[in-house]
Protein backbone atom coordinates (compact mmCIF):
# COMPACT_ATOMS: atom_id res chain seq x y z
CA UNK A 1 0.00 0.00 0.00
CA UNK A 2 2.81 2.35 1.01
CA UNK A 3 4.55 1.63 -2.23
CA UNK A 4 1.42 2.45 -4.26
CA UNK A 5 1.01 5.76 -2.38
CA UNK A 6 4.64 6.58 -3.02
CA UNK A 7 4.20 5.84 -6.74
CA UNK A 8 1.11 8.08 -6.89
CA UNK A 9 3.04 10.94 -5.26
CA UNK A 10 5.96 10.55 -7.69
CA UNK A 11 3.54 10.41 -10.64
CA UNK A 12 1.72 13.57 -9.47
CA UNK A 13 5.03 15.44 -9.22
CA UNK A 14 5.90 14.25 -12.72
CA UNK A 15 2.56 15.53 -14.11
CA UNK A 16 3.02 18.91 -12.36
CA UNK A 17 6.54 19.25 -13.70
CA UNK A 18 5.35 18.51 -17.24
CA UNK A 19 2.53 21.00 -16.87
CA UNK A 20 4.77 23.82 -15.70
CA UNK A 21 7.22 23.09 -18.55
CA UNK A 22 4.45 23.25 -21.11
CA UNK A 23 3.40 26.62 -19.63
CA UNK A 24 6.89 27.99 -19.95
CA UNK A 25 7.03 27.23 -23.66
CA UNK A 26 4.31 29.60 -24.86
CA UNK A 27 5.84 32.23 -22.59
CA UNK A 28 9.16 31.78 -24.30
CA UNK A 29 7.46 31.84 -27.67
CA UNK A 30 5.58 34.96 -26.75
CA UNK A 31 8.87 36.56 -25.79
CA UNK A 32 10.43 35.84 -29.19
CA UNK A 33 7.34 37.15 -30.97
CA UNK A 34 7.45 40.25 -28.82
CA UNK A 35 11.13 40.66 -29.62
CA UNK A 36 10.44 40.23 -33.35
CA UNK A 37 7.80 42.93 -33.13
CA UNK A 38 10.12 45.42 -31.50
CA UNK A 39 10.21 48.28 -34.03
CA UNK A 40 13.37 48.31 -36.12
CA UNK A 41 15.25 51.23 -37.68
CA UNK A 42 13.37 53.43 -40.14
CA UNK A 43 15.14 54.90 -43.14
CA UNK A 44 14.20 56.62 -46.37
CA UNK A 45 16.38 57.45 -49.37
CA UNK A 46 15.47 59.49 -52.46
CA UNK A 47 16.81 60.74 -55.76
CA UNK A 48 15.70 63.53 -58.07
CA UNK A 49 17.68 62.42 -61.10
CA UNK A 50 21.32 62.18 -62.17
CA UNK A 51 23.25 63.84 -64.99
CA UNK A 52 25.50 66.76 -65.84
CA UNK A 53 24.72 68.64 -62.65
CA UNK A 54 27.59 71.02 -61.86
CA UNK A 55 27.84 73.85 -59.38
CA UNK A 56 29.08 76.26 -62.05
CA UNK A 57 25.86 75.73 -64.04
CA UNK A 58 23.59 76.34 -61.04
CA UNK A 59 22.44 79.63 -59.51
CA UNK A 60 22.43 79.77 -55.68
CA UNK A 61 18.63 80.30 -55.73
CA UNK A 62 18.03 77.28 -57.90
CA UNK A 63 20.34 75.13 -55.81
CA UNK A 64 18.50 76.19 -52.67
CA UNK A 65 15.15 75.42 -54.26
CA UNK A 66 16.33 71.87 -55.06
CA UNK A 67 17.75 71.31 -51.60
CA UNK A 68 14.59 72.55 -49.90
CA UNK A 69 12.31 70.40 -52.03
CA UNK A 70 14.42 67.31 -51.40
CA UNK A 71 14.39 68.04 -47.66
CA UNK A 72 10.62 68.49 -47.70
CA UNK A 73 10.22 65.16 -49.49
CA UNK A 74 12.48 63.39 -46.97
CA UNK A 75 10.69 64.92 -43.98
CA UNK A 76 7.31 63.94 -45.43
CA UNK A 77 8.33 60.31 -45.91
CA UNK A 78 9.97 60.15 -42.50
CA UNK A 79 6.82 61.45 -40.80
CA UNK A 80 4.83 58.62 -42.38
CA UNK A 81 7.31 56.03 -41.09
CA UNK A 82 7.61 57.64 -37.68
CA UNK A 83 3.86 57.49 -37.19
CA UNK A 84 3.92 53.76 -37.83
CA UNK A 85 3.02 54.03 -41.52
CA UNK A 86 4.14 51.46 -44.07
CA UNK A 87 7.11 51.79 -46.40
CA UNK A 88 4.63 51.73 -49.30
CA UNK A 89 2.80 54.79 -47.95
CA UNK A 90 6.10 56.56 -47.30
CA UNK A 91 7.30 55.91 -50.87
CA UNK A 92 3.99 57.04 -52.40
CA UNK A 93 3.74 60.25 -50.38
CA UNK A 94 7.40 61.18 -50.82
CA UNK A 95 7.26 60.72 -54.59
CA UNK A 96 4.04 62.74 -54.79
CA UNK A 97 5.85 65.76 -53.30
CA UNK A 98 8.44 65.51 -56.07
CA UNK A 99 5.86 64.83 -58.80
CA UNK A 100 4.11 68.06 -57.86
CA UNK A 101 7.30 70.11 -58.14
CA UNK A 102 8.27 71.41 -61.61
CA UNK A 103 11.94 71.13 -60.56
CA UNK A 104 11.92 67.43 -61.35
CA UNK A 105 11.20 65.38 -64.43
CA UNK A 106 8.12 63.63 -63.04
CA UNK A 107 4.49 64.69 -62.91
CA UNK A 108 4.47 68.50 -63.32
CA UNK A 109 7.70 69.46 -65.04
CA UNK A 110 8.02 66.22 -66.99
CA UNK A 111 10.18 66.36 -70.13
CA UNK A 112 8.71 66.49 -73.63
CA UNK A 113 8.51 63.79 -76.28
CA UNK A 114 9.73 64.59 -79.80
CA UNK A 115 6.19 65.57 -80.76
CA UNK A 116 5.83 67.96 -77.83
CA UNK A 117 3.84 65.84 -75.34
CA UNK A 118 4.40 64.63 -71.78
CA UNK A 119 4.17 60.84 -71.44
CA UNK A 120 4.71 59.58 -67.91
CA UNK A 121 5.98 56.28 -66.51
CA UNK A 122 6.03 55.03 -62.89
CA UNK A 123 6.35 51.86 -60.84
CA UNK A 124 6.26 50.67 -57.24
CA UNK A 125 7.19 47.40 -55.52
CA UNK A 126 6.43 45.89 -52.14
CA UNK A 127 9.48 44.07 -50.80
CA UNK A 128 7.44 42.14 -48.23
CA UNK A 129 5.20 40.38 -50.75
CA UNK A 130 6.90 40.75 -54.14
CA UNK A 131 3.83 42.54 -55.49
CA UNK A 132 4.42 45.32 -57.99
CA UNK A 133 2.51 47.83 -60.10
CA UNK A 134 3.39 50.13 -63.00
CA UNK A 135 1.93 52.54 -65.53
CA UNK A 136 3.56 53.56 -68.79
CA UNK A 137 2.98 56.33 -71.32
CA UNK A 138 0.14 58.01 -69.41
CA UNK A 139 -0.74 61.63 -70.20
CA UNK A 140 -3.65 62.56 -67.92
CA UNK A 141 -2.96 60.97 -64.52
CA UNK A 142 -2.01 63.60 -61.97
CA UNK A 143 0.00 61.17 -59.85
CA UNK A 144 1.60 58.37 -61.86
CA UNK A 145 3.06 56.79 -58.70
CA UNK A 146 -0.40 56.53 -57.15
CA UNK A 147 -1.67 55.04 -60.40
CA UNK A 148 1.14 52.44 -60.29
CA UNK A 149 0.20 51.59 -56.72
CA UNK A 150 -3.46 51.26 -57.69
CA UNK A 151 -2.52 48.84 -60.48
CA UNK A 152 -0.64 46.80 -57.86
CA UNK A 153 -3.43 46.82 -55.29
CA UNK A 154 -6.62 46.92 -57.32
CA UNK A 155 -5.90 45.00 -60.52
CA UNK A 156 -4.68 41.50 -61.27
CA UNK A 157 -1.87 42.99 -63.41
CA UNK A 158 1.58 44.45 -62.89
CA UNK A 159 1.87 46.94 -65.76
CA UNK A 160 -0.79 48.92 -67.61
CA UNK A 161 -0.15 51.40 -70.42
CA UNK A 162 -1.58 54.48 -72.10
CA UNK A 163 -5.39 54.74 -72.56
CA UNK A 164 -6.00 51.43 -70.78
CA UNK A 165 -4.11 52.56 -67.69
CA UNK A 166 -5.95 55.88 -67.78
CA UNK A 167 -9.38 54.27 -68.08
CA UNK A 168 -8.54 51.98 -65.16
CA UNK A 169 -7.29 54.86 -63.01
CA UNK A 170 -10.41 56.87 -63.75
CA UNK A 171 -12.58 53.92 -62.81
CA UNK A 172 -10.67 53.72 -59.51
CA UNK A 173 -11.39 57.39 -58.77
CA UNK A 174 -7.86 58.72 -59.29
CA UNK A 175 -7.38 62.38 -60.19
CA UNK A 176 -7.42 63.07 -63.93
CA UNK A 177 -5.92 66.31 -65.29
CA UNK A 178 -5.70 68.00 -68.66
CA UNK A 179 -2.32 67.17 -70.31
CA UNK A 180 -1.45 70.90 -70.08
CA UNK A 181 -1.10 70.44 -66.27
CA UNK A 182 2.34 68.88 -66.91
CA UNK A 183 3.59 71.73 -69.15
CA UNK A 184 6.71 73.56 -68.01
CA UNK A 185 8.34 76.23 -70.13
CA UNK A 186 11.94 75.32 -69.25
CA UNK A 187 11.31 71.75 -70.27
CA UNK A 188 9.75 72.90 -73.51
CA UNK A 189 12.82 75.04 -74.23
CA UNK A 190 15.01 71.98 -73.60
CA UNK A 191 13.14 70.15 -76.34
CA UNK A 192 13.62 73.03 -78.78
CA UNK A 193 17.32 73.22 -77.92
CA UNK A 194 17.76 69.52 -78.42
CA UNK A 195 15.96 69.59 -81.74
CA UNK A 196 18.35 72.30 -82.94
CA UNK A 197 21.32 70.20 -81.80
CA UNK A 198 19.88 67.19 -83.52
CA UNK A 199 19.82 69.06 -86.81
CA UNK A 200 23.35 70.36 -86.28
CA UNK A 201 25.20 67.33 -84.93
CA UNK A 202 22.73 64.46 -84.76
CA UNK A 203 22.54 64.39 -80.91
CA UNK A 204 19.41 62.41 -80.23
CA UNK A 205 19.25 62.68 -76.46
CA UNK A 206 20.41 65.46 -74.18
CA UNK A 207 22.52 63.13 -72.05
CA UNK A 208 25.53 63.90 -74.25
CA UNK A 209 24.88 67.59 -73.82
CA UNK A 210 26.68 69.56 -71.07
CA UNK A 211 23.40 71.00 -69.73
CA UNK A 212 21.73 67.69 -69.43
CA UNK A 213 20.34 66.06 -66.33
CA UNK A 214 17.79 63.32 -66.12
CA UNK A 215 15.52 64.49 -63.26
CA UNK A 216 13.48 61.35 -62.66
CA UNK A 217 12.42 60.88 -59.03
CA UNK A 218 12.62 57.79 -56.85
CA UNK A 219 12.33 56.66 -53.25
CA UNK A 220 13.13 53.57 -51.19
CA UNK A 221 11.86 53.18 -47.64
CA UNK A 222 12.31 50.80 -44.71
CA UNK A 223 9.52 50.81 -42.14
CA UNK A 224 9.58 49.83 -38.48
CA UNK A 225 8.24 46.37 -39.36
CA UNK A 226 11.31 45.71 -41.51
CA UNK A 227 9.43 46.01 -44.79
CA UNK A 228 11.13 47.63 -47.78
CA UNK A 229 9.31 49.38 -50.65
CA UNK A 230 10.68 51.19 -53.70
CA UNK A 231 9.16 53.45 -56.34
CA UNK A 232 10.15 55.56 -59.34
CA UNK A 233 8.29 58.19 -61.39
CA UNK A 234 9.40 60.01 -64.55
CA UNK A 235 8.60 61.84 -67.75
CA UNK A 236 11.31 59.75 -69.43
CA UNK A 237 13.90 61.36 -71.69
CA UNK A 238 13.61 64.64 -73.61
CA UNK A 239 12.88 64.07 -77.30
CA UNK A 240 11.90 60.43 -76.77
CA UNK A 241 9.93 59.01 -79.66
CA UNK A 242 6.17 58.62 -79.38
CA UNK A 243 5.49 55.47 -77.38
CA UNK A 244 9.03 55.03 -76.02
CA UNK A 245 8.99 53.44 -72.57
CA UNK A 246 12.03 53.76 -70.32
CA UNK A 247 13.28 51.73 -67.38
CA UNK A 248 11.32 53.56 -64.68
CA UNK A 249 8.13 51.47 -65.01
CA UNK A 250 10.08 48.25 -65.61
CA UNK A 251 10.29 46.13 -62.47
CA UNK A 252 13.86 44.88 -62.06
CA UNK A 253 15.32 47.73 -64.16
CA UNK A 254 14.01 51.01 -62.70
CA UNK A 255 12.54 49.70 -59.45
CA UNK A 256 13.00 46.61 -57.30
CA UNK A 257 12.33 45.64 -53.68
CA UNK A 258 12.84 42.47 -51.68
CA UNK A 259 12.92 42.42 -47.87
CA UNK A 260 15.68 39.80 -47.95
CA UNK A 261 18.10 41.88 -49.95
CA UNK A 262 17.32 45.51 -50.73
CA UNK A 263 15.15 48.11 -52.43
CA UNK A 264 16.43 50.10 -55.43
CA UNK A 265 15.25 53.04 -57.54
CA UNK A 266 17.20 53.96 -60.69
CA UNK A 267 17.73 57.08 -62.75
CA UNK A 268 19.67 57.46 -65.97
CA UNK A 269 19.68 56.46 -69.61
CA UNK A 270 16.82 53.99 -69.41
CA UNK A 271 17.74 51.81 -72.36
CA UNK A 272 20.90 50.70 -70.52
CA UNK A 273 19.08 50.18 -67.24
CA UNK A 274 16.62 47.88 -69.00
CA UNK A 275 19.31 45.91 -70.85
CA UNK A 276 21.38 45.34 -67.74
CA UNK A 277 18.39 44.82 -65.39
CA UNK A 278 20.09 47.23 -63.02
CA UNK A 279 17.83 47.24 -59.95
CA UNK A 280 17.45 43.47 -59.83
CA UNK A 281 21.12 42.91 -60.58
CA UNK A 282 22.03 44.75 -57.36
CA UNK A 283 19.65 42.55 -55.34
CA UNK A 284 20.94 39.42 -57.12
CA UNK A 285 24.58 40.23 -56.30
CA UNK A 286 23.59 40.45 -52.63
CA UNK A 287 21.53 37.28 -52.73
CA UNK A 288 23.74 34.97 -54.78
CA UNK A 289 27.20 36.43 -54.28
CA UNK A 290 26.78 37.63 -50.70
CA UNK A 291 27.90 41.19 -51.50
CA UNK A 292 26.96 44.04 -49.17
CA UNK A 293 24.51 46.67 -50.42
CA UNK A 294 27.34 49.16 -50.98
CA UNK A 295 29.48 46.65 -52.91
CA UNK A 296 26.60 45.42 -55.07
CA UNK A 297 25.34 48.89 -55.98
CA UNK A 298 28.87 50.09 -56.80
CA UNK A 299 29.65 47.07 -58.95
CA UNK A 300 26.57 47.61 -61.12
CA UNK A 301 26.63 51.41 -61.40
CA UNK A 302 30.37 52.14 -61.38
CA UNK A 303 31.60 49.07 -63.26
CA UNK A 304 29.00 47.23 -65.34
CA UNK A 305 27.15 50.34 -66.52
CA UNK A 306 30.31 52.37 -67.06
CA UNK A 307 31.82 49.61 -69.23
CA UNK A 308 28.69 49.64 -71.38
CA UNK A 309 28.36 53.43 -71.54
CA UNK A 310 25.19 53.61 -69.43
CA UNK A 311 25.01 56.91 -67.52
CA UNK A 312 23.02 57.38 -64.30
CA UNK A 313 22.77 56.21 -60.73
CA UNK A 314 20.62 54.50 -58.11
CA UNK A 315 19.50 54.93 -54.54
CA UNK A 316 19.16 51.77 -52.47
CA UNK A 317 18.75 50.54 -48.91
CA UNK A 318 18.81 47.20 -47.10
CA UNK A 319 16.94 45.78 -44.11
CA UNK A 320 19.48 47.11 -41.62
CA UNK A 321 18.88 50.61 -42.93
CA UNK A 322 22.22 50.86 -44.77
CA UNK A 323 22.01 53.29 -47.66
CA UNK A 324 23.88 53.37 -51.02
CA UNK A 325 23.63 56.19 -53.59
CA UNK A 326 26.24 55.57 -56.34
CA UNK A 327 26.13 57.47 -59.67
CA UNK A 328 28.52 57.70 -62.61
CA UNK A 329 27.50 61.19 -63.76
CA UNK A 330 28.70 64.63 -62.58
CA UNK A 331 25.91 64.84 -60.04
CA UNK A 332 22.72 63.31 -58.71
CA UNK A 333 20.01 64.99 -56.63
CA UNK A 334 19.87 62.66 -53.65
CA UNK A 335 19.37 62.34 -49.93
CA UNK A 336 18.42 60.15 -47.02
CA UNK A 337 16.88 60.47 -43.57
CA UNK A 338 17.40 58.23 -40.55
CA UNK A 339 16.58 60.66 -37.77
CA UNK A 340 13.72 63.10 -37.33
CA UNK A 341 14.47 66.60 -38.66
CA UNK A 342 17.85 65.49 -39.99
CA UNK A 343 17.38 65.13 -43.74
CA UNK A 344 20.74 64.77 -45.51
CA UNK A 345 20.73 66.20 -49.03
CA UNK A 346 23.46 66.15 -51.70
CA UNK A 347 23.75 67.28 -55.31
CA UNK A 348 27.33 67.17 -56.56
CA UNK A 349 29.92 64.44 -56.74
CA UNK A 350 32.26 65.64 -54.02
CA UNK A 351 29.58 66.07 -51.33
CA UNK A 352 29.15 63.45 -48.66
N1 LIG B 1 15.52 56.57 -66.57
C2 LIG B 1 14.61 57.50 -67.19
C3 LIG B 1 14.25 56.99 -68.56
O4 LIG B 1 15.10 56.52 -69.25
C5 LIG B 1 15.16 58.85 -67.30
C6 LIG B 1 15.68 59.43 -66.03
O7 LIG B 1 16.12 58.71 -65.14
O8 LIG B 1 15.64 60.63 -65.87
O9 LIG B 1 13.12 57.13 -68.93
Take atom 9 of ligand 1 and give the residue whose Cα is closest.
236
Identify which of 269, 276, 310, 327 to mutate to test ligand 1's pocket (most ligand atoms within 8 A of the CB): 269
Do residues 152 and 278 both lie within one domain?
yes
Q: Name residues contacting ligand 1 (CB within 6 A).
A: 49, 105, 214-216, 234, 236-237, 246-248, 267-270
Ligand 1 centroid from CA 167, angstroms: 25
For residue 213, the 8-state DSSP code is B
- Flag the least confident range among 24-38, 94-108, 299-313: 24-38
Q: What is the pTM of this model?
A: 0.87
Segment 259-278, tens digit of pLDDT = 999 999 999 999 999 999 99
Ligand 1 centroid from CA 253, angstroms: 11
Ligand 1 centroid from CA 287, angstroms: 26
Q: Which of 216, 234, 238, 261 is catalytic?
A: 216
Reply yes or no on whether the pLDDT at 155 is more than 80: yes
Take atom 4 of ligand 1 and give the residue whose Cα is closest.
270
Do residues 199 and 247 both lie within one domain?
yes
Do residues 46 and 106 both lie within one domain?
yes
Q: Are 215 and 53 within 8 A, CB to CB?
A: no
In three-state secondary structure terms, 33 is helix
- Partnered with residue 229 across adjacent β-strands are 126, 221
98-102's contacts with Cβ under 8 Å and 24+ in sequence apart are: 98/46, 98/48, 98/69, 98/73, 98/217, 98/233, 99/143, 99/144, 99/145, 99/217, 99/233, 101/69, 102/184, 102/186
In three-state secondary structure terms, 60 is helix
pLDDT for position 52: 78
Ligand 1 centroid from CA 329, angstroms: 13
Task: For residue 236, say whether it is annotated as part of any ligand binding site.
Answer: no
Do residues 28 and 75 both lie within one domain?
no
Closest ligand 1 atom to Cα of 271: 4
Do residues 67 and 10 both lie within one domain?
no
Give the total number of structural domains in the chain.
2
Instruction: Determine the Cα–Cα distance for residues 176 and 6; give it in Å rounded to an integer.
Output: 84
Nearest to 291 by CA among 332, 253, 335, 322: 322
Task: For residue 10, say whether it is annotated as part of any ligand binding site.
Answer: no
Segment 8-48, tens digit of pLDDT = 555 555 554 444 444 443 344 444 444 456 788 999 999 99
Task: For residue 244, say whether it is annotated as part of any ligand binding site.
Answer: yes
Q: Are 352 and 323 within 8 A, CB to CB?
A: no
> Side-chain half-sphere of 202: how many Cα atoms within 13 Å?
0
Closest ligand 1 atom to Cα of 111: 8
Told to judge if 203 belongs to the known catalytic residues of this protein, a careful annotator would answer no
Task: For residue 188, say whether it is annotated as part of any ligand binding site.
Answer: no
Do residues 59 and 7 both lie within one domain?
no
Strand order from edge to edge, sheet including 132-138:
159-161, 132-138, 120-126, 228-234, 217-222, 43-51, 331-337, 344-348
Do residues 22 and 51 both lie within one domain?
no
Do residues 267 and 341 both lie within one domain?
yes
Do residues 55 and 1 both lie within one domain?
no
Do residues 17 and 70 both lie within one domain?
no
Do residues 134 and 2 both lie within one domain?
no
Range of the domain at 319: 40-348
pLDDT for position 61: 95
Do residues 123 and 241 both lie within one domain?
yes
- Flag the least confident range among 27-41, 159-173, 243-257, 281-295: 27-41
CATH of residue 289: 3.60.20.30
pLDDT for position 10: 58
Highest mean pLDDT among 24-38, 112-126, 191-205: 112-126
Amino acid sequence: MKLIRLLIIIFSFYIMACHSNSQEKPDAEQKTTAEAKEPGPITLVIHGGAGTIKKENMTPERELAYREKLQQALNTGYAVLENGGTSLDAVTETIQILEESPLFNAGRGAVFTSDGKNELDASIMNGATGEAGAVAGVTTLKSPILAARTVMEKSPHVMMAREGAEAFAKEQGLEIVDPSYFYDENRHNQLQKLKENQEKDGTAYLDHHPDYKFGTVGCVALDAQGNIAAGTSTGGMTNKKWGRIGDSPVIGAGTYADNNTCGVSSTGHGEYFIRYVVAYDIAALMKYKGLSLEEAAKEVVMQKLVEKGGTGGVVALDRQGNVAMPFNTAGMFRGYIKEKDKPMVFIYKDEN
